[in-house]
Amino acid sequence: MKTYDKEIFGFEKDFGPRWVPFFPFSSMPMYSESYDPAYVTQLEILGVTSQGEEIVLPIWRYFFPLWPEALREIFINHRLNEMPTKHFFTLFFKLYEHRRTAKAYYEDVPKLDKIEVYALTWDLESWIKMRKMAPSLLVEYDWRKSKLNPQKRSVLAIISADEVQN
């Protein structure tokens, strides 16, 4: 099993990339998994403030240089390397906290009491409609703003700020 003490998810905490995202030199896994083309699964990360307000955490903003589909692929790769789901997303919460407290990267980043991670399963037609509402393919669209709903919304992990401190 790999160690993730210094680098998290293939890049330094200060954004310096360690991986090369260009074929054929990429260190990221190729897309060789089997899938059902009628369905799409995406990951959603919500932050919850001390007042109980839920905030969608856009991956492209808070976890740069990742984008939504890259997060899903990295998650699958780490699961294949036997990293527990909760531990994987605890590292994401640590990365969020590191960047929030550094204040050099973001403005108005809320302090969170916990994050909740969901797997959203969409039928392909609804997912395409929802993605067309986003300003670009690198940006998540908050599906709650539309009349579209995923077929299934499964909890993958809930991590409190206290767990990140330990």
Contact criterion met (CB below 8 Å) for 115 and 62: no
Contacts of 103 (CB under 8 A, 6+ apart): 109
CA dist 132 and 128 (Å) reads 6
Q: What does the pLDDT look like over 119-134, one tens digit per residue?
A: 888 888 888 888 888 7
Mean pLDDT of 47-66: 86
Does the pLDDT of residue 26 top 70, yes or no? no
DSSP H helices in 28-141: 59-62, 68-80, 85-102, 124-132
Amino acid identity for residue 143 in this structure:
W
pLDDT band at 36; cut points 50, 70, 90: low
pLDDT over threshold 60, residue 116: yes
What pLDDT does 132 receive?
84
| Non-local CB neighbours of 99 within 8 Å, separated by 6+ positions | 13, 62, 105, 106, 109
Average pLDDT over residues 63-67: 77
Q: Are strands 114-123 and 39-48 parallel, antiparallel or unpaired?
A: antiparallel
| Confidence grade of residue 46 (pLDDT, cut at 50, 70, 90) | very high
pTM of the prediction? 0.72
* Euclidean distance between CA atoms 149 and 152, whole angstroms: 8
Distance of alpha carbon 71 from alpha carbon 85, whole angstroms = 13
